[in-house]
Homo-oligomer: A and B are copies of this chain.
Amino acid sequence: MKKQSVPTLEDVALEANVSTATVSRCLNTPDRVVEGTRRRVLDVVQKLGYSPNFGARALAAKRTNTIGAIIPTMENAIFARGIQAFQEELRELGVTLLVASSSYQEDIEAEQIRTLTARGADGLLLIGHHRDKEIYSFLERQGVPVLVAWVYDPNEPAVSIGFDNRLAMKELAKEVIALGHQKIGLISAEQKGNDRARYRITGVRDAMQENGIAPSSLRLIETRYSIESGATAFAELMNSPDRPTVVMCGNDVLAVGASMQAKQMGLRIPQDISITGFDDIELASVADPALTTVHVPHRKMGQNAARMLVAMVKEGKQFNSTQLMTHICIRESLSKPPLHSNGAVR
């Protein structure tokens, strides 16, 4: 007949005829216990199917070997690869990852931060700098180190690992402009609470300014990240008077949506309309035509983030923000504007 309740350290200790302290040591610092005892204890652990209670452990030891990450969404691939790499590296380091998503909503993010902190996350990975000051001070008070990813901005107080979104987008925009495009459409995520989106928009504006293109030549649409909304936004852009000759998108998902819509409208890419993305996720290279986009070193970012954060947590190490480089990925969806492209069709 099975024991009714979950076995505890004490059950193991009793059965193995040692003290709870010894059992604990067998589990946490096995080399402080002599071979024979250890084997005996571990056998009992096995036999009883003992599994330590996390809450009690966290309470007593004041650390959890857990790191939390809060990403805006799990619904598309944008964060998937980076987080996957992050998780893999953490595993190597013996740390568990807890992921939560905020649906791009600040209040939900704040709640998730509290939840993960209360659950004893030793450190937190957050996306982007933008959030209430109060959250940062809360985390500081709790003694939970934070690493911001997906952006690099040395002027922000929080330490970050990522890339210069503004610069990356600016480089791409310069490329676009160099090809002769003067009227630029831009489909972006909503700027509110999303500094990556803001940086990228600024990047386009900067490139335009540097090339003497009037800011009014930019058609900006903000929408949520999904293939479908990319398609809708694209249609809107195309149906406006004085339509752009290129549609730059805040990420690859939007760009794929735009691209599908273009085909649907009978527009050839890039002959009739150029489209660019951002991120270089798998989708970008398999899309037809393959997307010109900005390559982001997601895996590298995830790996480094893991190492940094663990060092911050375990050794109290301080880091400076780390910049990773992006590069432009020229593929088929971008070319010169069509010759007589001054205005709407017909």
Contacts and interface: CB of A to CB of B under 8 A. Distances in A.
Given A77-B76, A80-B75, A263-B288, A56 B54 contact: no
Q: How large is the interface on A (under 10, 10 to 19, 20 to 34, 35 or more residues)?
A: 35 or more
Interface stretch (A95-103, A190-198, A338-346): A95-103
A114 B295 CA distance: 37
Nearest to A61: B55
A329 to B, nearest CB: 16
Chain copies in complex: 2
Interface stretch (A117-125, A157-165, A304-312): A117-125
Contact of A120 (B3, B54, B226): B54
Contacts of A226: 282
Interface stretch (A9-17, A135-143, A211-219, A240-248): A135-143
Contact of A288 (B49, B54, B260): B260
Which has the most chain B C-beta neighbours within 10 Å: A2, A76, A141? Answer: A141
B49 A59 contact: no
A54 B58 contact: yes
A83 B74 contact: yes
Contacts of A256: 286
Contacts of A283: 227
Contacts of A336: none
Contacts of A59: 53, 55-56, 59
A318 interface: no
A286 B74 contact: no
Which has the most chain B C-beta neighbours within 10 Å: A58, A66, A83, A97? Answer: A58
Given A74-B84, A83-B74, A288-B288, A98 B101 contact: no
A33 B17 CA distance: 47
A228 interface: yes
A231 interface: yes
Given A74-B84, A80-B74, A286-B231, A6 B143 contact: yes
A5 B228 CA distance: 48
A51 interface: yes
Contacts of A99: 74, 99-100
A180 interface: no
Given A6-B141, A77-B75, A52 B118 contact: yes
26 contacts: A3-B141, A6-B141, A49-B137, A49-B138, A49-B141, A51-B142, A53-B118, A53-B120, A54-B55, A55-B56, A55-B119, A56-B59, A57-B118, A74-B84, A74-B99, A75-B77, A75-B80, A75-B84, A77-B77, A84-B101, A98-B98, A99-B99, A99-B100, A227-B282, A227-B286, A260-B286
Given A98-B100, A228-B286, 11 more contacts: A6-B142, A49-B137, A49-B141, A51-B142, A52-B118, A55-B55, A74-B80, A75-B84, A99-B100, A256-B286, A260-B286
Interface of A: 2-3, 5-6, 49, 51-59, 64, 66, 74-77, 80-81, 83-84, 87, 96-101, 114-115, 117-120, 137-138, 141-143, 226-228, 231, 256-257, 260, 263, 282-283, 286-288
The 4 nearest A-B residue pairs measured at CB: A55-B58, A55-B55, A54-B118, A55-B59
